[in-house]
């Protein structure tokens, strides 16, 4: 898929901007703090209805304005499509081809993107919550039902945690009610865990071969799913259900004391290893960065496999951090297949000869 046109009104430091972006490679150049990342972020928001760098939607509205509007015109295999998003302090509204979308999950997925930014190194180096966020964003993009399961799960989790706290405070527990919460929690957990395991399995396949290519055949990258309790996706669902219910009943006293649910997808993690050594613990800076890059490139193939079209690739300030060999690998693999947006403060560090046909946008102070 291709983004042909991007229009923003009162978005971050842009008062009003309209860009023709039909080229396969779009380079956004400008000094620091001019609005380069803001443009990539806007494309990301059009895909996922939220930013990759904040949970606070209202930060997207230009200082002093009441609302922000984003429009993207995209070309897909099956024809053109116009996406509109409006954010106000009260919430957000989404339209596809002028038609209101009642649920955001009906909107998400119309546009697919993969963003690679310096902070993605945290998927490898950072805390488990960053890896869970990665899972949620990526799976949610291609399987809106996943986002629905997840929001149901979060509601059940919050209510169950509340109940655990009250029961502990009042030294009595309503066993029947707890059983009801447990059943709901486990049912939703299994749905989410299955989807996560399936995603990781597919991603692993791509990431391993991409990483192998980037490292000239010297490194085998493996991605492992680390759920909060021993979970074997190959056993039958009813067996999983029983195992999980038993786990919860065993943990009851501990959970009440701590006032929180100790098992479930909200405690999941991912593990990366290169040649069987844990990357977070033993990997060099370069290996960690390459792991993050391989993951992102694997996502591109994953999305292609799931939706039948390549997503748009957004590279924020990352190209200049890669050595020439890796830059070339990255651009040559996808140049013709994947529309790419690249931000940079200058072109000196880029392999410009490989970007001859690129469209160049100069950004200065939101213009
Ligand atoms: P760098 O090269 O440092 O990454 P950049 O060009 O990517 O810079 P952006 O992050 O796109 O910079 O834009 C940052 C600018 O946007 C900052 O000057 C910031 O003050 C401004 N900005 C952020 N949010 C808003 C907002 N809601 N309203 C107005 N301006 C904003
Ligand atoms: Mg930036």
Ligand nearest to the CA of 12: 1
Ligand nearest to the CA of 15: 1
Ligand 1, atom 11, lies closest to the CA of 35
Q: Is residue 134 located within the same domain as residue 248?
A: yes
Q: Is residue 151 located within the same domain as residue 192?
A: yes
Q: Is residue 253 located within the same domain as residue 343?
A: no
Q: Is residue 295 located within the same domain as residue 338?
A: no
Q: Is residue 230 located within the same domain as residue 298?
A: yes
Ligand 1, atom 4, lies closest to the CA of 32
- Residue 191 assigned as binding residue: no
The whole-number pLDDT of residue 244 equals 94
The whole-number pLDDT of residue 299 equals 95
Q: Ligand 1 mean position to 98 CA, how many Å?
A: 29
Q: Ligand 2 mean position to 256 CA, how many Å?
A: 45
- Residue 143 assigned as binding residue: no
When divided into structural domains, the chain yields a total of 2
Q: Is residue 104 located within the same domain as residue 8?
A: yes
The residue among 292, 307, 322 that closes a domain is: 307
The whole-number pLDDT of residue 351 equals 64
Q: Ligand 1 mean position to 61 CA, how many Å?
A: 12
Q: Is residue 127 located within the same domain as residue 272?
A: yes
The residue among 307, 337, 352 that closes a domain is: 307
The residue among 267, 291, 307 that closes a domain is: 307
Q: Is residue 84 located within the same domain as residue 151?
A: no
- Residue 292 assigned as binding residue: no
3-state SS, the chain, equals CEEEEEEEEEECCEEEEEEECCCCEEEEECCCCCCHHHHHHHHHHHHHCCCCCCCCHHHHECCCCCEEEEEEEEEECCEEEEEEEEEECCEEEEEECCEECCCHHHHCCCCCEEEECHHHHHHHHCCHHHHHHHHHHHHHHHCHHHHHHHHHHHHHHHHHHHHHHHHHHHCCCCHHHHHHHHHHHHHHHHHHHHHHHHHHHHHHHHHHHHHHHHCCCCCCEEEEEECCCCCCCCCCHHHHHHHHHHHHHHHHHHHHHHCCCCCCHHHCEEEEEECCEEHHHHCCHHHHHHHHHHHHHHHHHHHHHHHCCCCEEEEECCHHHCCHHHHHHHHHHHCCCCCEEEEECCCCCCCHHHHCCCEEEECCCCC
Instruction: Check which CATH number belongs to the domain holding 75 and give it.
Output: 3.40.50.300
Domain residue limits at 59 = 1-112+309-367
Looking from the CA of residue 35, the nearest atom of ligand 1 is 11
Instruction: Check which CATH number belongs to the domain holding 230 and give it.
Output: 1.20.1050.90
Ligand nearest to the CA of 34: 1
Q: What is the pLDDT of residues 159-210, one digit of tens each?
A: 999 999 998 899 888 999 999 999 999 999 999 999 999 999 999 999 999 9
Candidate from 38, 53, 60 with most ligand 1 atoms within 8 A of CB, to mutate: 38
Q: Which residue ranges of the chain lie beneath pLDDT 70?
A: 335, 349-355
The whole-number pLDDT of residue 349 equals 64
- Residue 31 assigned as binding residue: yes
- Residue 32 assigned as binding residue: yes
Which residues, judged by CB distance below 6 Å to any ligand atom, belong to the binding site of ligand 1?
12-13, 30, 32-38, 59, 61-63, 317, 345
Q: Is residue 265 located within the same domain as residue 330?
A: no
Q: Is residue 284 located within the same domain as residue 320?
A: no
The whole-number pLDDT of residue 314 equals 96
Looking from the CA of residue 61, the nearest atom of ligand 1 is 27
pTM score, whole prediction: 0.90
Q: Is residue 184 located within the same domain as residue 296?
A: yes
Q: Is residue 255 located within the same domain as residue 338?
A: no
């Amino acid at each position: 898929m291709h983004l042909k046109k991007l229009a923003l009104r009162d978005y971050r430091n842009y008062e009003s901007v309209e860009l023709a972006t039909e080229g396969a490679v779009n380079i956004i150049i400008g000094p620091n703090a001019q609005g380069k990342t803001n443009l990539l972020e806007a494309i990301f928001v059009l895909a996922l209805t939220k930013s990759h760098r904040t949970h606070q939607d209202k930060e997207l509205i230009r200082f002093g304005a009441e609302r922000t509007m984003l429009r993207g015109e995209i070309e897909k295999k099956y024809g053109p499509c116009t996406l509109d998003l409006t954010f106000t302090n009260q919430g957000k509204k989404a339209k596809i081809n002028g038609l209101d979308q009642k649920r955001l999950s009906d909107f998400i997925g119309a546009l697919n993107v993969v963003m690679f930014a310096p902070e993605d190194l945290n998927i490898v180096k950072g805390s488990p919550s960053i890896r869970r966020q990665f899972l949620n964003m990526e799976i949610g993009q291609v399987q809106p039902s996943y986002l629905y399961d997840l929001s149901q799960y979060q509601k059940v989790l919050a209510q169950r945690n509340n109940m655990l706290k009250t029961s502990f405070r009042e030294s009595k527990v309503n066993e029947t009610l707890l059983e009801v919460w447990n059943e709901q929690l486990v049912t939703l957990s299994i749905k989410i865990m299955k989807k996560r395991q399936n995603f990781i399995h597919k991603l692993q396949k791509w990431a391993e071969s991409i990483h192998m290519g980037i490292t000239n055949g010297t490194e085998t990258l493996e991605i492992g799913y680390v759920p909060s309790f021993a979970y074997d996706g190959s056993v039958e669902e009813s067996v999983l259900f029983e195992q999980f219910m038993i786990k919860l009943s065993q943990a009851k006293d501990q959970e009440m004391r701590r006032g929180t649910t100790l098992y479930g997808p909200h405690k999941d993690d991912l593990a990366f290893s290169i040649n069987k050594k844990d990357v977070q613990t033993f990997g060099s800076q370069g290996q960690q960065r390459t792991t993050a890059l391989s993951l992102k490139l694997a996502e591109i193939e994953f999305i292609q496999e799931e939706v039948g079209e390549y997503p748009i690739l957004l590279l924020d300030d990352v190209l200049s951090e890669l050595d020439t060999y890796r830059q070339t690998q990255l651009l040559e693999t996808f140049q013709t297949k994947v529309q790419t947006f690249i931000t940079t403060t200058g072109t000196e560090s880029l392999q410009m000869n490989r970007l001859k046909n690129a469209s160049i946008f100069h950004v200065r102070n939101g213009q």
